[in-house]
Amino acid sequence: MLMQEQRETIVHYGKKLLSSGLTVGTGGNLSYYDPAQGFMAITPSGIDYLEMVPEDVVVADLQGNIVDGKLKPSSEFEMHAIVYRNRDDVTGMVHAHPFYSTTISCLRQPLPAIDYLVAHSGDKEVRCAEYATYGTKQLAENALKALGSSQAVLLANHGFNVVGKDLHEAFAVAEQIEFCARLYWQAKAIGEPVILPDEEMKMMVKRFEGYGQIRK
């Protein structure tokens, strides 16, 4: 099976999208890119994550030509493909509708540095992309522009996108961003939170560049 390992990983994290509370129902989508082959594995449209099997995951090139799989790919195909066409440091992406991050996106404002963990996004804050209808080229372009060189972006009135050097990293960062969004939501409910200064966040971004360990 073409891109078997990546497809199995997508199925694994699809289930974690639900168990981690990052989405509900069939909302959101995951992808994994293989730059050597130029192919992207992406979740199919409207399939229950708990019932999904690796064969359901669609493999296509970045122009949308399906090379393996019988199902229709996610309606947000272009929002994933445009990232891989423009970011050679990225091979994994999570698009989801988490409760707290989506709440912040409905205010159409960035998620500020409520906690140093926001630096997992690769920036001092998580910017919010301009609104566009789901599944459109305009949304894909808006998301890419707001993402810039960072790893996370809010989508106005929609959810968020998180990218990484692989899908494992993208998912881990997604969980951190949703945690910070919840902190911000809860702090705003009882007062005005103190936001960490830009200088501190720049230092944290640098420190996170070498964070973690490499498995051997």
Catalytic residues: 76
Strands 92-96 and 128-129: unpaired
For tokens 């070498």, the residue is: 210
**Which whole-number Å values give the CA distances from 50 to 10, 13, 55, in the listed order?**
12, 10, 14
Query: Taking the CB of residue 168, how many other CB atoms lie within 10 A of it?
Result: 14
Closest CA to 97 of 182, 17, 166: 17
Q: How far apart are CA 94 and CA 169, in angstroms?
A: 10
Query: Structure tokens of 159?
Result: 């959810």
Under a CB-based contact definition with an 8 Å cutoff, are residues 101 and 179 in contact?
no
Phi, psi of 14 (to 5 degrees): -60, -40
Burial of 2 (0-12, 13-18, 19+ CB in 10 A): middle
Burial of 129 (0-12, 13-18, 19+ CB in 10 A): buried
